[in-house]
Amino acid sequence: MTQAKAFAPRLDALAEMVAFTAAAFEREGIDKRLLGTVDFVLEELFTNVVKYGRRTSGTSGASDAPVSVRLELQAVVGGVQASLIAEGVADFDVTRAPPVDTSLPIEQRQPGGLGLHLIGRLVDSIEYDYQVSQMRSRVTFRKTSA
Amino acid sequence: MLKIGFGPQGLVVIEGRLDAAQAATAQGFLDTVNGSTTLDCSALEYISSAGLGVLLKTQKRLKANAGQLRLTGVSRHVHDIFRYAGFDQIFEIAPAA
């Protein structure tokens, strides 16, 4: 059964999202060892929407906040599938973020971009979809206890 | 929630979840640390990319001044995140016993 909930597009909604995810894992009997990774990926996707997802209106130039952010979670064989859906956002394919060279010496390391780089390595699969007419993005990922 | 502060023997102790909502709090405290110090992570339940950024920024600053941040008591999950991020190349990390 899919567990779903909408969240306000604000960083202070993260705690609520964490609580919802933990409860969903409990209700669906999903392996709790996956929770840390799922939280990491969801936080990265969510904060990207909150910080960078605003789409600029055509003529006025004003920024419009996303209408909503919705999380859907369901158990799959061996793990979990999660989707983060945001409406009113710009098209940004998180699966195409540039790679980060994690072998660089510290003098050359930059803090940015690491999150999107890591999520591709933490999950079994990740897909991005964008519907222009509704300004809606959907990121779906799977994580199993391999 | 996150707690960060000085503990016994001059250690810095971090407890709870270092996520995007708490990153500024952690950065604000670590910006007051100088020289070399040990960050006791034994009660650090979770770290996100925002938290990784806090640690990286701190380590860059300390190392530029001949110091460093050592990470101890790191849980298996957090250690995995550190390794994926290449932090095992730029931090001394001691896993939890």
Compute, in degrees rounded to 10, the torsion defined by CA atoms A138, A144, B1, B7. Answer: -140
Q: Residue A144 has what pLDDT?
A: 97
Q: Residue B48 has what pLDDT?
A: 95
Residues B51-97 have pLDDT tens digits of: 999 999 999 999 999 999 999 999 999 999 999 999 999 999 999 88
Distance to chain A for B82, nearest Cα, Å: 10
**Segments in chain A forming alpha helices (H):** 14-28, 35-52, 114-122
Chain A, chain B: beta-carbon pairs less than 8 Å apart: 67
Q: Tell me, what CATH number does B68's domain have?
A: 3.30.750.24
Residues A76-113 have pLDDT tens digits of: 999 999 999 999 898 999 999 888 999 999 999 987 88
Instruction: Give yes or no for B89 touching A (CB within 8 A).
Output: yes
Q: Domain residues for A73?
A: 3-56+65-144
In a domain, B89, yes or no: yes
- Asked if B89 and A103 come within 8 Å (Cβ–Cβ), the reply is yes
What's CA A62's distance to the chain center, in Å?
25
Domains contained in chain A, number:
1
Domains contained in chain B, number:
1
- Asked if B84 and A102 come within 8 Å (Cβ–Cβ), the reply is yes
Tokens of A140: 């779906």
- Asked if B85 and A118 come within 8 Å (Cβ–Cβ), the reply is yes
Instruction: Give yes or no for A146 touching B (CB within 8 A).
Output: no
- 3-class DSSP state for residue B38? strand
Provide the 10 A C-beta neighbour count for residue A91.
13
Provide the 10 A C-beta neighbour count for residue A12.
10
Q: Please name the residues in contact with A29: beta carbons below 8 A apart, sequence gap of 6 or more.
A: A75
Instruction: Give yes or no for B56 touching A (CB within 8 A).
Output: yes
Q: Domain residues for B52?
A: 22-95
CA distance A122 to A65: 29
Task: State which amino acid sits at residue A63.
Answer: S
- 3-class DSSP state for residue B58? helix
Dihedral sign for Cα atoms in the order B57, B63, B69, B75: positive
> Which ipTM did the prediction report?
0.89
**A 18-47 near B (Cβ less than 8 A):** 18, 36-37, 39-40, 43-44, 47
Q: Tell me, what CATH number does A99's domain have?
A: 3.30.565.10
Q: Cα angle vertex A25, ends A119, A129, to 5°?
A: 40
> What is the pTM assigned to this prediction?
0.91
In a domain, B82, yes or no: yes
Q: What distances in angstroms separate CA B10 from CA A70, B18, B55, B82, one per listed residue?
A: 44, 21, 18, 24
In a domain, B13, yes or no: no
Instruction: Give yes or no for A112 touching B (CB within 8 A).
Output: yes
